[in-house]
């Protein structure tokens, strides 16, 4: 059902893009819009992972520099039937994580030092499993394409006055009123569809991640802790690059208390409720992991960022 909903939303987003191109430039405008979309998608397909990792100052770690984290990701990747992704650590106090990469063979997971110092080992495993689920579902590619098309719609809308403002409705154009409407409504519509796709994929990754780790309640406890800390600890890199907010397991932006209609992530309480239902289906495993103080090397207020078992 999640895949069907995602496909329908992507089709709607693509249709909106093509419709704007046709409205602004007729058949020629529609073809130009399609070519621009293909070019932007191709660029994003090959370069988005490198760009976002560089954007957040992520540093790659391995079995020598971060043995416990690297081993954990390797175990979870085997459980998921995935090749070992690259593992990165971001020196950032906000607990959060994301996955990126164009396919499972070219994937990476990134965790902040804040999340390594905040969660217990079981909770961190739940988060890493969630990110691997995004890789297995190819959500990183889906969201890259979604962001690209949404960005292209915004770009077309910004140039609407140049392309469509001089074409009146009698000659097949949208006219000045239609042009203004496109400038205002098109980016809004694209953003809403993008957010709906992001929320759909988060629910799917929660479910699959809990199955990969075998502990839904550990992931639920992690989501609760991360959401609480994200309200208090700013992520300045994310604030400078809000278009990447949908990649994180919890919205990293300080304005995340916006109305649900404009949120890139589902409500955390709803996600936890879905995981509790899954835990009952799986026999309630992991109930002891929810709530309480974090334990183990992942939960202690560890050493300064850049040190410790994670590198």
> Closest by alpha carbon to 164, among 19, 273, 302?
19
Determine the Cα–Cα distance for residues 210 and 281; give it in Å rounded to an integer.
12
Could you tell me how many residues make up the chain? 311
DSSP structure class, residue 253: S
Say how many C-beta atoms besides its own lie within 10 A of residue 171's C-beta.
9
Please, where are the H alpha helices in the chain?
2-55, 67-80, 113-118, 121-136, 139-158, 160-164, 175-213, 216-232, 236-240, 268-281, 296-299
Determine the Cα–Cα distance for residues 21 and 71; give it in Å rounded to an integer.
49
Name the packing angle between helices 268-281 and 216-232 (round to 10°).
Answer: 170
Q: Which two tokens stand for residue 1?
A: 């059902």
Classify residue 170 as exposed, middle or buried by CB count within 10 Å of its CB (0-12, 13-18, 19+).
exposed
> Closest by alpha carbon to 199, among 158, 251, 126?
251
Classify residue 218 as exposed, middle or buried by CB count within 10 Å of its CB (0-12, 13-18, 19+).
buried
281 is catalytic: no
| CA 39 vs CA 42, 177, 238: distances in Å | 5, 30, 26
Of 68, 122, 123, 131, the active-site residue reads 131
| Catalytic annotation, residues | 131
């Amino acid at each position: 059902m999640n895949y069907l909903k995602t496909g329908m939303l992507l089709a709607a987003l693509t249709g909106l893009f093509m419709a704007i191109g046709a409205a602004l430039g007729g058949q020629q405008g529609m073809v130009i819009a399609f070519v621009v979309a293909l070019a932007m998608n191709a660029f994003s397909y090959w370069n988005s992972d490198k760009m976002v990792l560089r954007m957040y100052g992520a540093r790659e770690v391995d079995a020598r520099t971060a043995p416990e984290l690297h081993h954990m990701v390797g175990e979870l990747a085997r459980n998921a039937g995935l090749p070992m992704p690259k593992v990165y650590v971001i020196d950032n106090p906000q607990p959060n994580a994301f996955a990126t990469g164009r396919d499972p063979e070219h994937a990476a997971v990134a965790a902040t030092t804040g999340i390594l110092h905040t969660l217990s080992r079981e909770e961190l495993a739940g988060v890493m499993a969630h990110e691997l689920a995004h890789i297995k579902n190819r959500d990183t590619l889906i969201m890259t394409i979604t962001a690209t098309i949404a960005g292209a719609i915004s770009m077309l809308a910004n140039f609407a006055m140049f392309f469509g403002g001089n074409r009146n409705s009698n000659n097949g154009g949208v006219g000045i009123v239609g042009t203004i409407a496109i400038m205002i409504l098109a980016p809004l519509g694209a953003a809403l569809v993008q957010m709906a796709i992001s929320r759909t994929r988060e629910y799917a990754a929660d479910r699959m991640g809990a199955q990969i780790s075998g502990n839904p309640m550990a992931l639920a406890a992690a989501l609760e802790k991360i959401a609480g800390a994200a309200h208090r600890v700013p992520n300045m890199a994310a604030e400078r690059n809000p278009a990447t907010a949908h990649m994180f397991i919890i919205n990293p932006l300080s304005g995340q208390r916006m109305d649900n209609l404009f949120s890139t992530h589902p409500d955390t309480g709803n996600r936890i409720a879905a995981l509790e239902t899954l835990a009952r289906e799986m026999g309630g495993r992991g109930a002891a992991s929810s709530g309480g103080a974090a334990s183990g090397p992942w939960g202690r207020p560890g050493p300064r960022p850049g040190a410790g078992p994670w590198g």
